[in-house]
Amino acid sequence: MANETRARKPKIRSSIREDAINVPNLLTMARVVMIPLVLWLIADGTPAACFWAAMVYMVTAITDALDGWLARRMGLISILGKFLDPLADKLLVMASLVWLAYLGRLPLPGVIAVIIMESRELGVTALRTIALSEGVVMAAGQGGKEKTALQMVAILLLIVYHPYQINFGFTTLWVDMGQVGLAMLYLSLFFAITSAGEYIKLFVEAVEAKEHRLAEESEAEE
């Protein structure tokens, strides 16, 4: 019974075509396909449309967790999946933030925060790609995970945007979802900057460790 609960070992796929039609990768691709729908609903601007945009966005966030779990559980971890999953995440986040800024839902400081975060994403992706080409895997740190969680919630609230009356039991308050989302966006910016520093540190340490190892191997050969 214990063996049945363990994740299956990754299977060796014979082709990219087979990888493209496995369940986890289909979920990832569905996440990309849903991005235009989210943007279209946001652009409508009505409370109802914004609500449904938030619901679709939540579904995409759930599939983000589900596809990775299924890939590990079903032994369907693939190179295509490792490429598509982070790409789909970045497309969803970047497209949503840029679209919200374009529609004027963000003040100037919010637009600047988006520019910084988008630049950070591109920079970190470049660092991880270079590191991977050198055989070094840079896993996401705690700061990066906190940034992602705050960013996802911030975008969700910015999509809802309109004020809602919330009953807390002992009192009822009107909550401006757009303002709360903006505050969380600024908070995620802090973690974006600090986690970027962590990635740079990891990258430098990995490069130095590799150069040191190569130097030792060269000396040993001599």
Residue 106, both tokens:
């963000």
Q: What pLDDT sits at residue 49? A: 93
Q: What pLDDT sits at residue 219? A: 73
CA angle 118, 53, 175 (to 5 degrees): 85
Q: Dump pLDDT digits (tens) for 23-79.
A: 777 788 888 889 999 999 999 989 999 999 999 999 888 887 777 777 777 776 766
Only one residue has tokens 């130097």, namely: 215
Q: Find, among 27, 11, 14, the residue nearest to 72 by Cα.
A: 11
Query: To which H or E segment does residue 174 belong?
Result: strand 172-176
Distance (Å, whole) CA 110 – CA 96:
13
Q: Which residues of the chain have pLDDT under 50?
A: 1-5, 7, 9-14
The structural domains of the chain, with segments of one domain joined by +, span 7-104, 107-222
Q: What pLDDT sits at residue 54? A: 93
Q: What pLDDT sits at residue 154? A: 94
Q: What pLDDT sits at residue 17? A: 60
Q: What pLDDT sits at residue 14? A: 46
Q: What pLDDT sits at residue 21? A: 67
Q: What pLDDT sits at residue 4? A: 45
